A and B are shown apart, each in its own frame.
Chain A
């Protein structure tokens, strides 16, 4: 395999939030993420997932007060001295509260907001709006108020608004935590589709480990500002004891494998299965 260049690289990054916090929110982060990766970011509340994500588009250290050490390089650019308008063209962000990201009177204007700031022409905007609404499946809602949409639709609108600037990376911070099951399904499937069909790099913080095990090719486990595990879902989730000690959930089929071994009911070899399909394969002969 040829040497791939990472699209995101963290070099010894440490960040203290302003206001005299002694403990850094993230510390000594070294991380490489490659084009087309789907990265699941796991960790308890306060583990540093959001801080790490905000470093990717330069909001940290450029807009949020604090002490920043190290370097974050995105597509060869140092986030420290790259203006927001440049970063927005590379990195799209979606946050956990669907409604708190919206401000405009119509869906079309919401998507146009960023493009207006970048001085897109009217024709470009109309074309892009149609295109991104198509991708997220909100065709025909152009004139609706963003605040009248369902949570899942609002999140997809936020994705569309980010996509309008044609980013190569989509960073999502617990995007499904405030939406109902149908909304979750919609958001996960849009993200997976972007990753698969457009080769977009996706970095998603999420509590739903079973879903992440199915979609992500990289799982990162954070704890108290540090990255403790980084690898494929099978590799990471096979560290059953560490993950449980941190208070995190495992995919149920993985936990099952571990406990079958513990009780001497079977001997399942590592790496353990993490998805339903792989579990059906592995377990069908045991049961």
Chain B
């Protein structure tokens, strides 16, 4: 099957100051993948994902979305396929009510009136915004405002969601809700990319991680592989989740990947196994 995002030898240089922000990036992302993009600020991760929606164009190399070269396409055209949820919801919201906010995207795409309403209903249900529907976006507290930001993209029904720091500044209740929503998006068939520093999100939610450092993708692997690679973790100043560190410290066979856990649940499953073995 054709990958939904295909990046071929992508370079990007910003005109101001001639800074190379991306160097020789090649990768494929398949439909339905749930991917975490990590790296420090300035590592190139935002530059990379901005190419997927056409906010930036390659200096060298090619980016294909669903088989189509993004070079001649405008952001407004790519928006039908790629949804970009900004880190700060304030950058996206401006309408008088949540309802209007949700209609804005599909209206721009020329979706028929009835279908727009249908999508708005779906989005309200999906994100649980029933009570906020007729409120002004700025009267809604930050955690929920961020969900509204996601919902405005949801009504555009893109194949690909790019979520920039979806859990930053959120407390645990909303964070857990966002984790569930991200998984649900994938279950509905979307491809989801999370640009994030949230280690729990990366360990418990995503299937694959792209690690960027100094304008290059230095690792493209499963979270289990990334978190157990000390060298990568140290050089990117990332710390694995506490439970992962515990398992890394306690595992007897240093090369056995199965003994690296990504969540408390996995740790318990491992403990159960070893318990049973003892009993036998």
Q: How far is the CA of A43 from the CA of B143 in the complex (A)?
A: 14
Size of interface on B: residues with Cβ below 8 Å to A: 34
B113 CB-CB contact with A under 8 Å: no
Q: Are B268 and A260 in contact (CB under 8 A)?
A: yes
Q: How far is the CA of A184 from the CA of B168 in the complex (A)?
A: 13
Q: Which of B18-41 contact A (CB under 8 A)?
A: 40-41
B169 CB-CB contact with A under 8 Å: yes
Q: Which residue from B40, B249, B272 sits with its C-beta under 8 Å from A182?
A: B40
A178 CB-CB contact with B under 8 Å: yes
Q: Are A266 and B271 in contact (CB under 8 A)?
A: yes
Q: Are A280 and B237 in contact (CB under 8 A)?
A: no
Q: Are A265 and B271 in contact (CB under 8 A)?
A: yes
Q: Which of A226-270 contact B (CB under 8 A)?
A: 247-249, 251-253, 255-256, 259-260, 263, 265-266
Q: Which of B230-256 contact A (CB under 8 A)?
A: 236-239, 241-243, 245-246, 249-250
Q: Are B42 and A280 in contact (CB under 8 A)?
A: no
Q: Is the interface of A mostly helix, strand, loop or mixed?
A: loop
Residue of B at shortest CB range from A279? B246
With A255-B264, A263-B272, A276-B249: A182-B172 Cβ-Cβ less than 8 Å: no
B104 CB-CB contact with A under 8 Å: no
Q: How far is the CA of A255 from the CA of B267 in the complex (A)?
A: 11
Residue of A at shortest CB range from B237? A182
Residue of B at shortest CB range from A182? B237
Q: Are A284 and B250 in contact (CB under 8 A)?
A: yes
Q: How far is the CA of A207 from the CA of B250 in the complex (A)?
A: 27
Q: Which residue from A46, A180, A248, A253 sits with its C-beta under 8 Å from B141?
A: A46
For this complex, 16 residue pairs linking A to B, each with C-beta atoms less than 8 Å apart, are A44-B172, A45-B142, A45-B143, A177-B169, A247-B172, A247-B176, A248-B172, A253-B242, A256-B267, A260-B268, A260-B271, A263-B272, A276-B246, A279-B242, A284-B250, A287-B271
The 4 closest A-B pairs by CB, nearest first: A252-B243, A247-B173, A182-B237, A44-B171
